[in-house]
Chains A and B, each alone.
Chain A
Amino acid sequence: MNVAPTLRAGRAIPGVFVALAATLVIGWLVVMIDGGQLLNQPTTVSLLHVAAGLGLVGIGQTLVILGGSLDLSVAYVVSLSTLVAAETMNGSDAALVPAIGLVLAVSAGVGLCNGLLVTKLRINAFIATLGVGLLLKGYLDNGYDGPAGTTAPSLVQTLGYQRVGPVPLSFLLLVVVTGAAWFLLSRTRFGHHLIAVGGDPQVARLSGVRNDRVLVAAHVLCSLCAGLAGIYLASRLGAGAPRVGSEGLYDLESIAAVVLGGTALAGGRGGVIGTVGGVLLLASIDAIFNQIEVDAFFKQVIRGAIIIAAVAVYARRAMRREAG
């Protein structure tokens, strides 16, 4: 039962990394012709910072999508988390641990809510998480006009800006979370169950998997990841930002990253390593465009086209595999 999905996931992974390598090579050439250097220290650092935020959300998103669900509320969970973090810390290092605990509790609560709506009330995940997202959006819009609270200085210094060589601490956090998620998916019973549920809920149920529990857990983990991304963004911004999640398009971009990474939107196939590749790809495109100073709006056009094109390439490969 577990072998097939893992194998297929293994085959899907290289695609995005080939695309990433090609993008970096082409980008490097273009930037060089333009008279710059793509992977100099500042660019790499900012690329990894972008990847860290989107990556944390993307890892969580991968888990729910693998289970055949979806989470459109992550952007608002991210915004809410920055506020909970910054307002609880209120600029004091002493409140750091309780604040992080509170963020994780709040985001786990949202995830639990999403999971129960999807499993117990059988609401389509798209609508359930959209609804929860709207609830949170209303709360944020109603209560906040702008930044609020202050992040603890020690958090800003460590997670926000500290780095090992060119690698920011936040990216290392992403690596750790990715590792944990990879372990969860490929080495634990929960992971195998999750992929089984995403692959075919009926078969999973008949083979004794408690589908609902597995999906609820995936939703909780997804929201926790979004909460972590919120803590990270609060540490970068130094304050809570009520619209950072939705303006960053974390909901849609995280889904795009997951799909770029070779995870099937219908569930049951894929993995977190691919998602990290997808995130790095999106972040690299961003970095290249920044380097050659492409118009921000043009950047968005190209981004849209690249996402569609990349997924089309995947779809072709999948079709050929089916035929062969």
Chain B
Amino acid sequence: MSTQIGARRPLPTRLPRLRPGGLLPIVAILAVLLVLVALRQPDFLAPPSLMSFLGRSAPIILLAAGQYFVIVSGEFDLSIGSLVTAQVVVAARLIDSDPSRTWPVVLLLLAFGAVVGLVNGLITTRLRVPSFITTLGMFLILVGAVYLWSDGAPKGGLSEDFRRFGRRAFEDVPVLGRVPYALLVLLVLATLAVVLMRADFGRTLIAVGDNPRTAELSGVRVWRTRTIAFILSGLAAAVAAILLGGYSGVSFQAGAGLEFGAITAVVLGGVVLGGGRGSVVGAMLGALTLELLFALMNFYGVSGALRSTVQGAIILLAVAVSATRQSSRQGER
């Protein structure tokens, strides 16, 4: 049904015009940060360390992409951080260091992510609970459930096979040196995300976020589109958890604060909260910028505790700049 709509209605096709203005600010910030990094730590930009940086950033970039789907459709997903934590703890307990269980558990985690997304989506769209409350409730439920299930301390362990995704890399690649598996996973999924946003689904999603009423009237099943967005976010969290668990191991802090990190990244990438505007590439670049910023702070010896202060300042600055640009553009019309 939505296929027809995408083809017939002029509205959705007009919306996702990727004006250079949309991506320009984030690309500019990224460029400035790269220059700053190059001045301080030229080695960082050499292929091997750059590759492993990109690999380490893969989870948050994926989370940003997942969050983008939800945000552009006009909702929020505050449950992804707790979902990542839950996934990591569940994986450790189920695998219990037994390599043969790796693949079944990976599939289970993906299913788990999809189900959490489905529940978030259905509660938000069918029961009309604001997504802020739905996903906040889900946050409390997941954190509580995972502690309950593991009696307050993570149990079991991840198998080496499982950890491979987040840790290992193709060694001795010409020119690039080391290409982390995580980076390949990221590239594949990012491509899929871009393709998805260029397909009818993407247009429908943006139309829904821009004006749900109009979308509804033009025959889009708003609830279904939004629910799919939540499922995509849950799936992104599952993949991020697999990579993060592999990279940094099992803890109850695995996903702490990632929801705000992802939302920050999305907004930094020029996506408007409330839906309907911004691109998935922008969201992913936003996440990359944020990670680069943290790396830069390390190089400049900023204490870890001050990280959030700088993060806060940067968000405010970035959003203020784009907001004033937007309002001046509105003024011209």
Interface of A toward B, CB cutoff 8 Å = 117, 121-124, 126-128, 130-139, 141-142, 252, 255-256, 259, 265, 295-305, 307-308, 311-312, 315-316, 318-319
Contacts and interface: CB of A to CB of B under 8 A. Distances in A.
A134 B311 contact: yes
10 contacts: A122-B326, A123-B320, A127-B273, A252-B136, A255-B133, A256-B133, A303-B144, A312-B127, A312-B128, A316-B128
Interface stretch (B30-38, B192-200, B237-245, B301-309): B301-309
A133 B313 CA distance: 10
B22 interface: no
Interface size class of B (residues with CB under 8 A): 35 or more
Contacts of A136: 312
Interface in B271-291: 272-274
A279 B242 CA distance: 38
A138 B326 CA distance: 29
* Residue among A124, A133, A135 with the highest chain B CB neighbour number at 10 A: A135
A141 B140 CA distance: 24
Contact of B315 (A131, A259, A295): A131
Contacts of A123: 316, 319-320, 323
B25 to A, nearest CB: 14
B50 interface: no
Contacts of A139: 309
A311 B324 CA distance: 35
Given A298-B144, A312-B127, A138 B323 contact: no
Nearest to A301: B144
Contacts of B148: 295, 297-298, 301
A80 to B, nearest CB: 13
A138 B133 contact: no
B134 interface: yes
A141 B305 contact: yes
Contacts of A265: 130, 132-133
A190 B327 CA distance: 27
A136 B315 CA distance: 14
A259 B319 CA distance: 27
A304 B312 contact: no
Contacts of A124: 267, 272-274, 319, 323
Given A121-B324, A126-B273, A298-B148, A134 B309 contact: yes
A308 B123 contact: yes
Contact of B145 (A301, A311, A316): A301
Contacts of B108: none
Given A127-B319, A297-B147, 13 more contacts: A123-B323, A127-B263, A131-B312, A132-B312, A138-B311, A297-B145, A297-B148, A300-B141, A307-B140, A308-B133, A311-B130, A315-B128, A316-B128
A216 B134 CA distance: 28
A316 B126 CA distance: 10
B187 interface: no
B138 interface: yes
Determine chain A's interface SS by DSSP, over half rule: helix
Contact of B129 (A138, A303, A312): A312
A128 B306 contact: no
B255 to A, nearest CB: 16
Contacts of A135: 308-309, 312-313, 316
Nearest to A260: B133
Nearest to A134: B312
B162 interface: no
Contacts of B307: 138
Contact of B137 (A126, A295, A304): A304
A3 to B, nearest CB: 26
A308 B267 contact: no
Given A122-B327, A297-B145, A142 B305 contact: yes
A139 B307 CA distance: 10
A131 B313 contact: yes
B21 interface: no
The 4 A-B residue pairs with the shortest CB-CB distance in the complex, in nearest-first order? A138-B309, A300-B144, A134-B312, A304-B140
Contacts of A256: 133, 136
B306 A142 contact: yes
A295 B150 CA distance: 12
A117 B312 CA distance: 13
Nearest to B326: A122
Contacts of B102: none
A311 B129 contact: yes
A133 B309 CA distance: 9
A134 B260 CA distance: 10
Contacts of B272: 124
A130 B264 contact: yes
* Residue among A133, A302, A312 with the highest chain B CB neighbour number at 10 A: A312
B69 interface: no
